[in-house]
Amino acid sequence: MTDPYVLDLSEVDETRVAAVGGKGAHLGGLSRIEGIRVPDGFCVTTDAFRRAMADVPPIDERLDELSRLDPEDREAIGTLSARIRRSIEETAVPGDIAAAVSSSLVRFGEQAAYAVRSSATAEDLPTASFAGQQDTYLNVLGPTAVLRHISRCWASMFTERAVIYRQRNGIDHRTVHMAVVVQRMVFPHASGILFTADPVTGNRKAATVDAGFGLGEALVSGLVNPDVFTVRDGEVVTKAIAAKERAVHALPDGGTREVAVDARQRERPALTDEQAVRLVGLGRRIEAHFGRPQDIEWCLVDDGFRIVQSRPITTLFPLPVIENSDERNDGENTDGNSGGNRVYVSVGHQQMMTDPMKPLGYSMWQLTAMVPMHEAGGRLFVDVTPRLASPTSRDSLLDVMGKGDPLVRDALETVLERDGFVPSLPDAAPVGPPSTGAPAPIETDPAVVTELIERSRTSVAALERDIRTKRGPALFDFLQEAFEEHKRVLADPLSMRALMAGMDATWWLNDRLREWLGEKNVADTLTLSAPDNITSEMGLALLDVADVIRPLPEVLAFLRDAEHLQDATFLDELAKTEGGAEAREAIEAYLDRYGMRCVGEIDITRPRWSERPTTLVPVILDNVRNFGPGAAEQRFEQGRRKARQKEQDVLSRLRALPDGDRKADEAQRMIDRVRTFIGYREYPKYGIVSRYFVYKRALLAEAERLVRDRVLTEKEDAFYLTFQELHEAVRSNRADERLIQRRKEAFRSYQALTPPRVLTSDGEAVTGAYRRDDVPAGALTGLPVSAGTVEGRARVILDMAEADLEAGDILVTTFTDPSWSPLFVGIAGLVTEVGGLMTHGAVIAREYGLPAVVGVERATRLIRDGQRIRVHGTDGYVELLP
């Protein structure tokens, strides 16, 4: 009969995490791989941990107290976790567990040296690596010492770092249990870490070997700089040999100590090139076994390698999922390189939403998009390889990308500079009759925009009417047809020509007026308060809501009592206050027009303002505090006057130039054109999101039915199924609960990843650079998208619902999709990490006359909340002020 408290490594594999923890399960799996040598040993199981914890006084009360602490209160967590560890270490190991451990030590060598290592059930899992959060003890001699160190490993589950990690990630302390791995000690000549993918760039074809002399603790603890070998395609392609002055060696009486390396040995490589290549070959076997890149700890003993640990590299951005792949979202997809080298561009950076999307969200976007898109890490990417391979389409792609986001263009050019990664193919011969040239130019006529807006409204109204009677599988058949109408509206030739007319006129004005007048970004002022901009209207309309609420003291008191506001009852409770009916009517009118919007609105699963109206409360209160009555109309008229004055100034200066009348006439035509069409730039997105909310309400009705039928636990579980999977669940009245749970875990892990602008099929995240020399030292470089210079207090805000802005503040955030626009009316400037010249935040910043710099890498981390900064919206950089 198997002992419940001890299992040999040969008895376990990666399916036994619940019994032996992540590290023990991985080591058991490693021991089964042909050619991989793992030091002998055994695991003290999680049953033993639970048995031992039952004897620790008073563990339950202290865990309850720990769970109530704020994860940011490090002092309180440190004090309480230290008390818990002390209680565990002072409690004797139960006799039956001690007997089982002693029996195993006799089999493996009672007087041998051992490594005693923690192995938690939430450790070294595919979506979360807990490296370094629990303890490892080396060169432990004798049964008494081994038992003492097993207790210490149990206690290490409550280190301050491990406790904070679990609390920040919503992991219940009681759901994590600690096993302990006890292995025969090896005394290596060299040791280190092997990453089977480049941990910095993500390149899956480049393996990195860190190596030093003696035990690996010297490297893990940062005591020495390691030798670093990069191995690709079976050869060392780069290496850096460090001066290794210190090493960690085992002591004869147990334990380890730091020693000086002989001066003659310090700059000798810890491994030969042949050994590094051989080690990587072993790593590839391990990677293939576990199905994803690995972080492997190794030892070199007598020219043979021993593997003492392997865990998944959880910081890598996943490879894109290719259609018809068996894997989607739940493991390391290996299909990103299907059909040769591929280059992918992020959709989220174009759409101003780089957060991960849930499966229903990204699958709906794929089904309604105009081009094929591939999911990776909960984000979507477009394969641009064919366009990069053709010289003609390559130039146009780089031009478009460069105008939108110079970092994307630079990253693509970096890939193109690599010999042979993207083969250059001849331009395809034209098929069919010869082209008749470019589409006929669109007339500068406001009626065109009026017609397009009416077309969109009519289409959405038809969708709302026709979907009402659709239920069950018939709804999904209807939606498939609706998606085709969705794409037809997006591809409307007149709409595309109107969009391009506005953008082309913007670029023409900026280029020509800089050439003729020496002034940058003149179009920013010329487009102030342009008509028909649904997104800027949305921000101004919330000022009108504030006008209604401002003179109502009981309503203001109700709104300020934010912690008691519940979305489900918010409007009803508001109406009960004095003046509340009037306030409710104003908010409902706003939601009727804009309630389909929200942060991250391209993900259909995100809660809309109509579903979560309290999101708007902080912005309304800011508007009440920072503005007076009639501010919306005043601001719009002020912008229109500035634009008109700028137009007159530009035309006057142009007429004074040689050939000035011609230049002024051309500029006048383009000014009329940009003011006619640039506002429409925002309307197609409004139409998309309006349709999405109709789709969502219908799908949620189906999800609620599945909850009533006990197919789903809660309606939001439907968000973790793709559209196709939800269709099947509705048809069959069955859903895979384990799949939903895996998707939830994967989504949580994706939130910790930063998506790259450009990703290759090798897994490399390619980062572009601005390549500028005109930015002051210490300033943060970005893309200038709205002219002007402003100095003020930086407010670093990651959640619109937590906004608390004063007049003159500068908003610093990750990205701004249209839903952020209501905040723009109350700020003095804008800085974002993501953005381009024609993305929504840039368009609205120009509309409101806000100096703005976008594409500032790591802005939310480099700029402190409350710090004074100066935004140079004309020249594209941000100064950090003392």
Q: What is the pLDDT of residue 235?
A: 96
Q: Which of 723, 674, 671 is nearest to 702 (CA)?
A: 723
Q: What is the pLDDT of residue 438?
A: 46
Indicate the pLDDT class of residue 428, thresholds 50, 70 and 90.
low
Q: Which of 697, 684, 705 is nearest to 464 (CA)?
A: 697
Q: What is the pLDDT of residue 540?
A: 95
Distance CA 681, CA 502 (A): 7
Q: Is residue 35 scored above 70 in pLDDT?
A: yes
Distance CA 283, CA 307 (A): 9
For residue 370, the one-letter residue type is M
A 10 A CB-CB count for 527 gives 27
Distance CA 99, CA 806 (A): 67
Query: Residue 63 is inside which H or E element, if any?
Result: helix 59-67
Q: Is residue 437 scored above 50 in pLDDT?
A: no
Query: Residue 548 is inside which H or E element, if any?
Result: helix 534-549
Distance CA 606, CA 599 (A): 8
Q: Are strands 235-240 and 852-854 parallel, antiparallel or unpaired?
A: unpaired
Determine contact, residues 26/123, Cβ cutoff 8 Å: no
The stretch 264-286 carries a mean pLDDT of: 94
Give tens-digit pLDDT for 806-820: 989 999 999 998 889
Q: What CA–CA distances, in Å, run from 219 to 192, 228, 261, 286, 586?
A: 7, 11, 14, 22, 63
Count of alpha carbons within 13 angstroms of residue 824, beta-carbon side? 32
Q: Please identify which residue in the block is written with the tokens 């105009």.
A: 370
The angle, 0 to 180 degrees and rounded to 10, between the axes of the packed helices 683-708 and 446-467 is: 10
What percent of the chain lies above the pLDDT cut of 70? Answer: 95
Q: If DSSP codes are grouped into helix, strand and coil, which group holds residue 43?
A: strand
Q: Is residue 334 scored above 50 in pLDDT?
A: no
Q: Is residue 430 scored above 60 in pLDDT?
A: no
Q: Is residue 343 scored above 50 in pLDDT?
A: yes
The stretch 380-391 carries a mean pLDDT of: 94
Give tens-digit pLDDT for 452-478: 999 999 999 999 999 999 999 999 999
Q: If DSSP codes are grouped into helix, strand and coil, which group holds residue 15?
A: helix
Determine contact, residues 835/855, Cβ cutoff 8 Å: yes
Determine contact, residues 329/127, Cβ cutoff 8 Å: no
Given the residues 349, 486, 840, 872, select the one marked as catalytic: 840
Q: What is the pLDDT of residue 409?
A: 95
Using the 8-state DSSP alphabet, how is residue 129 labeled?
A: -
Q: Is residue 129 scored above 60 in pLDDT?
A: no
Indicate the pLDDT class of residue 209, thresholds 50, 70 and 90.
very high
Q: Is residue 245 scored above 90 in pLDDT?
A: no
Indicate the pLDDT class of residue 615, thresholds 50, 70 and 90.
very high
Return the ∠ at Cα 318 (arms to 228 and 220), rounded to 5°: 30
162 or 559, which is more confident = 559
pTM tops 0.85, yes or no: yes
What mean pLDDT value characterizes the chain? 91
For residue 540, the one-letter residue type is L
Distance CA 131, CA 315 (A): 12
Beta bridge partners of 790: 871
Which residue intervals of 68-210 are DSSP H helices? 74-90, 95-108, 143-155, 160-168
Is 564 a catalytic site residue?
no
Across 170-179, 462-471, 811-820, 844-853, the highest mean pLDDT is recorded for 462-471
Q: Please identify which residue in the block is written with the tokens 């976790």.
A: 81
Give tens-digit pLDDT for 516-544: 999 999 999 999 999 999 999 999 999 99
Distance of CA 592 to the CA centre of its chain: 31
The stretch 673-687 carries a mean pLDDT of: 95
Q: Is residue 592 scored above 90 in pLDDT?
A: yes
Distance CA 439, CA 436 (A): 8
Of 157-171, 182-196, 589-603, minimum mean pLDDT range: 157-171
The stretch 296-318 carries a mean pLDDT of: 92
Q: Can you point out the beta strands (E) in 216-352?
A: 227-232, 235-240, 246-250, 256-260, 294-301, 304-312, 343-346
Q: Is residue 436 scored above 70 in pLDDT?
A: no
Q: Which of 96, 144, 158, 76 is nearest to 116 (CA)?
A: 144
Q: Give helix then strand counts, H and E, for the chain.
A: 31, 26
